[in-house]
Amino acid sequence: MRRLLLTSLPLVVTAAVTALMAVGASAQDDPGDDLVAEGRQLFATGCVTCHGADGEGVEIVDGSAGGPSLVDAGEAGAYYYLSTGRMPLNSPGEQPTRNQPAYSPDQIDALVAYVASLGDGPALPDVDLSDADLANGGLLYRANCQACHSASGSGGALSYGRAAPGLADATPSQVGAAVRTGPGQMPVFGPEIVSADDLNDLALYVRYLKSPEDPGGLPIGRTGPIPEGFVAWLVGIGALLALVFWIGTRSPIEKPAAERHEPDEEDDA
Amino acid sequence: MTQPAEGERVERAAALCFFVAMLAAIGLAITYWRGGDAQFEGVLLAVVTGGIGVGIVLWAKHFMPGGEVAEERETLASTDEEVAAFTEDFEAGETPLRSRRLLLTSAAGALTAFGAALLFPLRSLGPRPGGGLKRTAYAPGNVRVVQADGSPVRPSELPADGVVTVWPEDHTHDADAPTLLIRTRDSQDFTPRSGRGDWTVEGIVAYSKLCTHVGCPVGLYQAEEGLLLCPCHQSTFDVLDGARPVFGPAARSLPQLPLGVDDDGYLIATDDFSGPVGPGFWDRGR
Amino acid sequence: MLSRRLARWVDDRLGTAQFARTVLNKVFPDHWSFMIGELALYCFVILVLTGVYLTFFFDPSANETVYRGSYEALQGVEMTEAYRSGLELSFDVRAGLVMRQMHHWAALLFLASIVVHLGRVFFTGAFRRPRELNWMIGVTLLVLAMFNGFAGYSLLDDQLSGTGLRIAYSIALSIPLVGTWVTSLLFGGEFPGPDIIERLYVIHILLIPAAIAGLLTAHLAILVRQKHTQFPGPGRSEDNVVGTRLWPTYAAKALGLFFLVAAVVSFLGGVFQINPIWIYGPFDPAEVSSASQPDWYMGWLDGALRIMPGWETRAFGYEVPNPFFPGVLMAGLTFTALYAWPLLEARVTGDHAVHHLADRPRQRPVRTALGVACLAFYLVCFLGGASDVLAQTFGLSVNAILWTFRVAVVVAPLVAGWVAYRLCKELSARDGVPTASRVTWRQIPGRLRHGVGAEPEPDAEPAES
């Protein structure tokens, strides 16, 4: 009996360890694999027409559907486009604009995992506003962002009909994703140019811009002198002319001379 | 003027305006005492001044003489006699002045010289415009490019589609030296200008950030097309073709900065820009 | 009565009774459009009052400092003392922000009322003899007001106005031969230079306001001496002026209007936020925001810069840079034409008579059409200054917008002028009264060269009675 136990012990131990390893391994792999797999399925139904079976992109020929490669889009790129509802596009070739997301947050997580698995694109940064520095965020914003998105975050015109969008609806994660991925015409700001701490500060300032202090009263669009000029003329001069009209008597203006004759012939240039 | 019954109504209305103005003035004082608030201050001040204004205008329109009165216009020009008398007196005084030609001319000369001499201190207002407009702090050559916080840049730190503003080392506050470092995509067709084949490092190109139109920083980089757009007057420059202007009022390309790498692997400017930066001026080409 | 004794005391020493009586009895015609100039006058008074208050707090220094005031989003940020004092006024001085905003709104209204007033004087021909001098004084006041407004909002050294200063510098730089000298002397060196804020401060609070005050006094004195123009009407002629006496009615209305202007400015100053410098941040010559525009009265100039195609002239290493043409040449022509208009019109119409009766615009179709055409030109330039904001608001291509304006800047004046001309003719015809036009379009070039009184031209109209 003891010889049986002794000879079988290594076997039992090996079997037990193997079983434990198998359980441990599948406990690690399963959620990730499941997510990527779910993502692949969603991708296959919603994205392959334009982005290709493996996300390698489809060339646009004569107005047919097509789209860029997603191999280097990474977590950040996928998250940005999906969570802001810019993708999927209603029709190929239109400019992506913010929309209601077409997928639920869980589905977005799956798609993000799948797209990230395709290549080496930027990871989704972990934006944490709890210790962020608002003033530093402002400095970074004015140095890197205001040229396109305007000092107040209301966006701005680019060439040939495109526009940098307003930032009023951007969540901190979306800000982080956009900064790292440079969607569309936007440049890419890597971690050596805008560090992780910088990104937190920046996201805090972008959040501040959604409802900044307006001690002066109605912000009238926060687009600077143009709406201010409108108000000066419409409200200001309008009111002043109305008041002047009320104060001044309208003295009657007489037409010169009671002579009446035919309206002028065509004698002018 | 106004009829009695109506007059009473108007008088009461005007008095009410003045009374409301008084209340608003008290409100203004309270607002101020309690710490101030721009909206309350503005509106209450508007009520005070508006109340007084409306009250006065009602008083003027309804209770002051409003009938039309005519006033004759006299001829504006003086009569011939007046002009003759003036001319006579003036010429009587002028002749002694005129008769001494030497005195007159030398006095005029002295006063003119005095006036001219007085203008000289204006020269102290500013330095002679020298070569400063044609040179930047990159001129000595092999100057490191640094970010706003002074840190140098390795090529690997700038990803594709990346853009960063840099300055010559120790000159991060020079207004004529802001420089754009841009890494274009491999898929984009970058064509260097002749003689500038070695001015880029690993696909990173450097241009002056100052628009050649009127000097605004050209802050908008459109990464998909490699276009730089200036927000002031919409001048557009093609990064892939020596920052040539492709739209808008700018008439000259953005000057390019020749890049290199120093022994520690940081980006440097091997020489000054390809031309004077920023807007044009009379002798820019000399 | 105390006031009677006081008046006696003054008269005893100055002999004012006779003069004061003439003044009290001065008659002012009552048409509402004649009070628009007063709007500008009262805006100026409010600007001086609010401006003096601001000078007690503003620090026009370019010295660098670190912000420690109460605005959270700029804590610890480096900035000039000028910008910091602007923030202090806005956040930490009681009533500072409302004063700042009232001052800025009053400036916008000052210029708007000057422009409307100029329009009234132009379209009613009130600049004709003997008022040519007063017209030129008025144009000078317009130029001074524009410069002072620009100088004023540039004092705060924020990102938006600093960008404007950079543009002004570059426009001055583009002047042939002397551009580099002008800018170096004005700014104390290359842009931005250490001196510009302090120099603009002196210009803004002393030099130009003193000039405006002096010219305004002359403007009003000439008006009182020559008496106001009036529209034709019952009992009105070239030899009288019919209206209300200064004392008490007109003076009371004027005083009331002053308070009402103050009311409008106060309301705007408290309710509508203007120039939020804390959002723009301190000026940095390497940074810029999209949607950077100057205040409205400079918009036509900024728009002209945008609409101008990228043409430049270069020869032998010398050049006339692109901004010179819209920024210096076109602007210079604008003001030269404004100054010269009374003389040009008199030359072309041959009308050198004294006029105290105002025209109805429909009675002078050529002048009205030219005026409307000019307005259309400047309106297109003005809209051009908003090109990027228009593009973004309406989802259009900014490039297409600018191309459209390049065409419109030539076509719109022609179309608007023609429409105005036909409208004048039509309205006059319906009144049953011929226009008082003294010139046809074809005659204008010849008359500009030779004046009237040369050999009769083939197309000359018989003189209107």
Q: What is the DSSP string of C180-247?
A: HHHHHHHHTSSSS-SSHHHHHHHIIIIIHHHHHHHHHHHHHHHHHHH---B---TT--TTEEEEEEII
C109 touches chain B (CB under 8 A): no
pLDDT, tens only, C244-261 = 889 899 999 999 999 999
Q: How many inter-chain contacts (A to C, CB under 8 Å) are there?
A: 246
CA A39/CA A54 separation, integer angstroms: 12
Nearest Cα of chain A lies from the Cα of C110 at a distance, in angstroms, of 10
Cα A169-A39-A91 angle, rounded to 5 deg: 55
Scanning C199-258 for CB atoms below 8 A from B yields 225-227, 235, 238-245, 248-249, 252-253, 255-258
- pLDDT bracket for residue C463 (50, 70, 90): very low
A192 touches chain C (CB under 8 A): no
B233 touches chain A (CB under 8 A): no
Nearest CB to A147 within list B154, B159, B231: B231
Scanning A81-110 for CB atoms below 8 A from C yields none
Residue A10 is predicted with a pLDDT of 72
Q: Secondary structure of chain C: what % helix, strand, coil (to 5)?
A: 65, 5, 30
| Percent of all residues in chain C with a pLDDT value above 70, rounded to a whole number | 97
Nearest Cα of chain A lies from the Cα of C12 at a distance, in angstroms, of 37
| pLDDT score of C139 more than 60 | yes
Nearest Cα of chain C lies from the Cα of A232 at a distance, in angstroms, of 6
DSSP secondary-structure letter at B166?
E
Residue A58 is predicted with a pLDDT of 86
Scanning B142-171 for CB atoms below 8 A from A yields 147-148, 153-154, 157-165
Nearest CB to C187 within list B126, B215, B235: B126
Q: What's the rounded mean pLDDT across residues C166-190?
A: 96
Task: State whether C310 and B249 contact (CB < 8 Å).
Answer: yes
Question: Pick from B167, B146, B162, B133: which is nearest to B266 by CA?
Answer: B146
Q: Which two tokens stand for residue C438?
A: 């003294």
Q: For an interface test with A, which of C34, C71, C238, C272 has the most A Cβ atoms less than 10 Å from its Cβ?
A: C272
Q: What's the rounded mean pLDDT across residues C257-266?
A: 98
Residue A11 is predicted with a pLDDT of 74
Task: State whether C318 and B286 contact (CB < 8 Å).
Answer: yes
A163 touches chain C (CB under 8 A): yes
| Dihedral pair phi/psi, residue C45, rounded to 5° | -60, -45
Q: Which two tokens stand for residue B213?
A: 């139109």
Task: State whether B60 and C192 contact (CB < 8 Å).
Answer: no
Task: State whether A156 and C291 contact (CB < 8 Å).
Answer: yes
Task: State whether A147 and B220 contact (CB < 8 Å).
Answer: yes
Residue A256 is predicted with a pLDDT of 52
Nearest CB to B217 within list C287, C308, C318: C287
- pTM tops 0.80, yes or no: yes
Q: Which two tokens stand for residue B236?
A: 């557009």
Residues constituting chain B: 286
Contact C186, C144 (CB under 8 A): no
C292 touches chain B (CB under 8 A): yes
Nearest Cα of chain A lies from the Cα of C157 at a distance, in angstroms, of 15
Give the dihedral sign, CA A18/A24/A25/A27. positive
CA C180/CA B240 separation, integer angstroms: 32
Q: What is the mean pLDDT of each run of 10 residues along chain A (269 residues)?
A: 73 67 54 85 88 85 80 92 91 82 92 91 94 96 97 95 94 96 94 95 97 94 94 97 87 50 41
Q: How many inter-chain contacts (A to B, CB under 8 Å) are there?
A: 69
